Amino acid sequence: MKLSHMLVTPVAVTSLLFLAACGNDDSAGGGSAKSDAPPPSTAVQSTALDTELGAVPKPGSGFAVSYVAKTLINEYWQDVKAGAETEAKQSGVGISVQASKDESSLTDQLDLGRTVLSKSPDALLLSPQSDSNMQSVIQDAKSKGIPTIVLNDARTEGTDVYVGPDQTKVGSDAAKYILDKLPQGGDVAQIEGQAGSPNARLRIEGFKKGVADSGGKLKLVASQPGDWDRLKALEATTNILRANPNIKAIYANNDTMALGVVEAVKKAGKKGIVIVGTDGIRQARSSIKQGDLTATVAESPCTEGKLGVEIALRLKAKQKVPAWVLSPTQVIDSKNVDKVGTETCL
């Protein structure tokens, strides 16, 4: 399936980016996504993979991939899984999916990865919980000639391809949106994701940079961990609001935590605080429609899952796939929540 057909209606897209040095003579045919953030390279349209590499190769008989997700208790990762399964079904690819019980079970995920790898899939899709907990699995896969594709989080040394958005830009886009809503500026806070997660680290960095670029209008007065958890985010926000009564805006590194922020703001009886999340999950969109959550920097989980299967086929066919493929993002708020087409995983 071509990416141009993956959305119900067109979404304003952050361009896919390619690593310039993608001609690496790697055994799987790809490059190596070795650092936190993609290096400078040429921006292309979302159809770039088809344009640059041609149609997705057909799978051979019995071709199968495995996906080890972070967890399936979060709507976002459910949609990544659904996207991968949909593409696999449409392409005639076998797929198995395993997931940790939550987003902080690093050893559990490692054990799942080792078990999956022992069955020698044709390609391994991963959403690691940190940039080191799946390192040995990725190295073992490489030694066996099994290509690895990381979906959305934890770019790990030795990975053939990373698929997901530019997370630093996600954070900075949240800060820019807040400044648009608060042209006079004011005190702002941030609820951080899980320590050790590159997604959290990059979004934190991006948000701080966006605040710094506000020309002194925005002032970051608090940044506390919420660990991707709604209750922890609620508690952290409650503490922040008590210590900083003049807070004008709060950015949460994902939507689950943003919904916890919404609860805390309501319980504190605060009005007019700008609350921005990340991911664009359905619960966040509903909250925006209800007038609670202000906005979310929406990502594309279904597209990421589908891309993972497509890239597995390309790597197995020895195509020179770029090491970094960045998926679409868009800020969604009350002005466009009813207009922006949602992804379909079916």
Block means of pLDDT (10 residues each) for the chain, 346 residues, are: 38 36 39 49 54 89 95 93 96 95 89 95 94 92 95 85 90 98 98 91 96 97 97 98 97 98 97 96 96 96 94 93 87 92 66
Which pairing describes strands 330-333 and 295-298: parallel, antiparallel, or unpaired?
antiparallel
What secondary structure does DSSP assign to 106-121, as a single string?
Answer: HHHHHHHHHHHHHT--
Bridge partners of residue 7, in order along the sequence: 343
Query: Would you state the structure tokens that stand for residue 187, as one six-digit string?
Result: 């005190």
**Pair 153, 252 in one domain:** no
Q: Burial, 185: exposed, middle or buried (Cβ in 10 Å; 0-12, 13-18, 19+)?
A: middle
DSSP H or E run through 250: strand 247-252
Residue 251 falls inside a structural domain = yes
* Distance in angstroms between the alpha carbons of the first and the last residue of the chain: 12
**Pair 21, 123 in one domain:** yes
Residue 197 falls inside a structural domain = yes
Which pairing describes strands 43-44 and 16-17: parallel, antiparallel, or unpaired?
antiparallel
Residue 345 falls inside a structural domain = no
Residue 2 falls inside a structural domain = no
The DSSP symbol for 5 reads G
CATH of the domain at 247: 3.40.50.2300
**Pair 130, 146 in one domain:** yes
Residue 337 falls inside a structural domain = no
**Pair 96, 231 in one domain:** no
Residue 34 falls inside a structural domain = yes
**Pair 47, 148 in one domain:** yes
Q: What is the pLDDT of residue 13?
A: 35
Query: Would you state the structure tokens that stand for residue 275, as one six-digit string?
Result: 């609350």
Sequence letter at residue 82: A
Q: Give how far Cα 214 sits from Cα of 169, 177, 209, 224, Å.
A: 15, 11, 9, 21
**Pair 23, 121 in one domain:** yes
Residue 152 falls inside a structural domain = yes
**Domain limits at 61?**
12-164+301-327
**Pair 175, 226 in one domain:** yes
| pTM (two decimals) | 0.82
How many structural domains is the chain composed of? 2
Contact yes or no for 205/114 (Cβ under 8 A): no
Q: Which residue has the tokens 């961990």?
A: 225
**Pair 160, 16 in one domain:** yes
Q: How remote is the C-alpha of 47 from its chain's centroid?
A: 19
Sequence letter at residue 24: N
**Pair 76, 90 in one domain:** yes
Q: What is the pLDDT of residue 104?
A: 83
**Pair 83, 221 in one domain:** no
**Pair 23, 154 in one domain:** yes
26: helix, coil or strand?
coil
Q: Burial, 183: exposed, middle or buried (Cβ in 10 Å; 0-12, 13-18, 19+)?
A: exposed
DSSP H or E run through 177: helix 167-181
Sequence letter at residue 289: K
Residue 335 falls inside a structural domain = no
**Pair 259, 311 in one domain:** no
Sheet holding 161-163, edge to edge: 94-99, 64-69, 123-126, 148-151, 161-163, 324-325
